[in-house]
Chain A
Amino acid sequence: MIWSKQEILPREEIEAIQLSRLQETVARVYEKVAPYRKKMDEAGIRPSDIQSLSDLARLPFVTKRDLRDNYPFGMFAVPKEELVRIHASSGTTGKPTVVGYTQNDLDVWTECVSRVACMGGATEKDVAQICFGYGMFTGALGLHYGLERIGAAIVPSSTGNSEKQIMYMQDFETSLLVATPSYALRLAEVARSMGIDPAKDLKVKIGLVGSELLTDAMREEMRKYWGKDMLITSNYGMSELNGPGVSGECEYLCGMHINEDFYIPEIIDSETGEVLPAGEKGELVITCIKKEGLPLIRYRTKDITRLFYEKCKCGRTFCRMENLSGRSDDMLKVRGVNVFPGQIEEVIFGFEELGPHYEIIVEREGYLDKMTIRVELVHSTDSFAELERLRNAIRAKLRTVLGLDAKIMLESPNTLQRFEGKAKRIKDLRSK
C-alpha cells in the first residue's frame, strides 16, 4: 500500500515542489540563522541566486561540527518558545548534537515515518513492538508516532529485559518488530533459550529495522531465526534530519525510497565535494526543505550510497538510495586497506558453524596492523583437524573479500558482548 499521493507524483511535479520549498527554506535560514548567513556570505551566494535545483550545489555544506560549534541552539531557525520537542544524539565524542522540533516538524516527521512503515508492510491491524531505546534517541519515538498514525497498536517496550520482550510478543501476538538488526538477532536467541521458536511460536511477520546497516546477509540471517517469509525492510534517518523517515525500503527491496518532497538528496565525492551523477557511489548529502526548527541545508551524512531515479515496481516515483554499504565513520583502514564491518559480517554469516555475533579487533604490532576477528562457534566438532579447517576457510574467505589476512578466534556461544541498540563491533586498539 502507498500511504500518500505525494509518493507517486511525476518527476516534474516533485521537482517543482522541491524548488519552491528550497527557495523558501534558503531565504528563511539566511534571514534567521546567523551561522548560515555567514557561510553564504563567505561563499558569495544570496537566497535570490537559487533559481533552479542545480543551484543547490552552490550552497555551502553543513556538518555535524557546525551543530557542535553552535551548541545547543545556534543553528535553530525559530525561537526556543516555538519548540515542542528536543532530542539529542548520544554525543560520545563530546557535546551531543541537539535537534528541536516545532509542532509542524513533528507532523512532517510522523508523516514521513508513516509512509516508510507503510512501505515496509505495516497496516492498522498490526501490533507493533518498538524495541528501540526510548529517550533522547529519535528512533523509538519516530517509529512510535508514525506507526500509531497508521493505526497499529504500539507496544513501547523499549530495549532491555529481553525475556519480558518475548513474553509480550507471545501474549500480545506482536506482528511487527522494530529493532536494530543485531538486537533482533539477540531477541531470537533469547526466545530460543526460553524454548520458543520465533518462526513457529511467535506471530512476528514484519521487521522494520534501522540505525544499523542491513546487509543482504544480515537479512538472510534474521529470516533464518524469525521465519523465511518475514518481510524485513530497512529504513533510514538520523536525528539531524528529524530521525527515521528520511527513506525506507518497499516490498521489492531495491533501495530505500527517499521522501523527496521533504528531503533533497545529493551524492558527492567526499574528498572534493563535487556532486556526482545519479548511480555513482559517494557520500549522501541531504537538504531539509520543510523543516522549521532546524532546517539543515546540504548536511553531510557521512553515509556512503548511490541514488537511482528509475520508477520502482511498487509504483513510487521517489528516488531510491541503495542500502548503505557503510558509514565513512565505521570504515577501518587496516594496513592501508579500507575495511567495512559489513564485508566481514557477510563472510561470517556464510558459515553454518558460526553464530551471528562477532568482534573485530585491530592492534598494532611494531609497524604493522594486526586484525583479529572473534566469532562464536555454535556447532562444535570432535576433531582439531575440523576446527583448523574451519578457521582456515574463514580466513581464506576474508582474504578474498578484504584482501587482508586476519586471525580468527573461535569462542563459545554467548561469549561476545550483545547489544540492544547500535552494535559496537570494532575495537580499534591502535593509538590514533
Chain B
Amino acid sequence: MSYSVKREKEDRPVKKLLRILLTLSVLLTGCASNSSVPTPGQVQNNPLDKEWTTILSEAKGTTVNFYMWGGDERTNTWVDAVVASSMLKEYGVKVNRVPMGPDEYLNKLIGEKQANKQEGSIDLVWINGENFRTARQANLLWGPFADKVPNYQNYVDKTAPDIANDFGFPVEGYEVPYGKAQFVFASDTTKVKNPPKSSAELLEWLKKHPGRFTYPELPDFTGSVFVRQLMYELCGGYQAFPYTEQVNKATLNKQLQPLWDYLGAAKGYLWRQGKTYPSSIAALHQLFADGEVDITMSYNPAIFSGMIEQGLLPNSVRTNLWNNGTIGNTHFLAIPFNAANKNGALALADFMLSPEAQLSKYEPKNWGDLISLDVNKLDPQSLKDLEGINPGIATLSTEELQTHRLPEISAAYIPVIEELWKEQVIQSGQ
C-alpha cells in the first residue's frame, strides 16, 4: 500500500517535466518555421558581375574550404604543401582542405538546399562524372563561372570533347578541368616486341600467344573500361553512344553484337581459356608480375613507373596506347550554390589551372596527375619545363596521351554494359 502511494507522489514531477518538454518542443518548432523564411536582400553580390582584379582583391585575406576525397596521402600533401603555400603567397588566400568525398558533400549540399541555407561552408569541390550530373540536376552548383577564370580562358581547349562534356554530360561552364586520367596497356618489352595497338591486332596476337592475356572480371572498374575500349573500336566509337539518362537494354544489346562476337572469338585464347577471369585489377597486375600473362592495363598511366621504382616490376616494362586512342576522363573543380567565399574559390580554381600548379601536379613525386591544359596553348617556357619533367620510365609523354584521348560515354550505359557482359560472355559460354 505504502508503495503505491509514494509512486503516485513521485509520478507528478515526471508528468510536469513531460508537459514542459512538450511545450518547449512546440515552441521551438514554431520558431524554426519562422526563421526558415529567407530574408529579402540576403542575396550575395555576384562575383560574375565583377572585374577579375576586384574578385582577387576581395578574396585577399579570406579562407577557401576545399572539399576533396582525402584517401591519398600524396594528393593531400600536394594540396596542403604546394597549393596552400603558393595561394597564400600569390593570392593572399588561405586554403583549408577538408577530406570529404562527393558522396558526403553532395548529401550535405542537398540538405542545405532543402533548408534554404544561403551561406554554406563548402567553397570549392573536386567532382566529376555521375556526381557532377547529380549536382547539376539538383541545382547544387553555382555558375556558369568557367569563363570568368583567366587561366581557363588562356590555357584550356574548351571544345575538346573530354572537357566540354563530363561522362557525356554537358559541362556548360559549371566546372573547370584540373586533371586527367587515361587508360593504358603495359607489357614487358623483352617479351612483347610489338604490343597490339588495336582490337584487330590484339585478336591476332592472342591467336599467336594463347593463354597469355586476360582482363579483370566486370564490374571491376578497369575491366569495365577495357570492354568499353573494345566497344569504341568495334561498335562505332563514342559518337555512337549519345548522352542518355535511360538505356534500353535490348537495343543496346543489338548495337553491341560486334563486341560479343569479338569476345566470343577471343575467349578460347585467353588465360585459362576464358573459363575464369582475375577478380580485380590487382589480381591481373599480380599475374603480370608473376609472368603468367604478358599484358596488363590501368586507368592510371603513371602507375607502372611507380611499380618499377618500387621493384615490383622489371625495368623493361613499358606502356602503350592504341592507334585510335584510349579512353580518358577528366576531373573538375566546381563551386556550390551557397559557397560563402566565391571570390576565394575562383582564385583557387584559377591557380589550380595555372601552368605552375599543373606542372607541379604532373611531377611524379608530387602526384603524377596528367595536366588538363592544352599543351599547344602553353607558353614556350612552361612547355620547356613540361618536357623537362621526367614522368617516369614507363609513362608516355603528355602530348602522346593527349593526342590519343577519347572521352567517356554517359555513365548510364556502364551498368547495362556490365550486365550484358555477364549474360553474353559468362553465361552463354557454358
User: Is B truly associated with A?
Assistant: no
Report B's interface with A, CB cutoff 8 A.
none
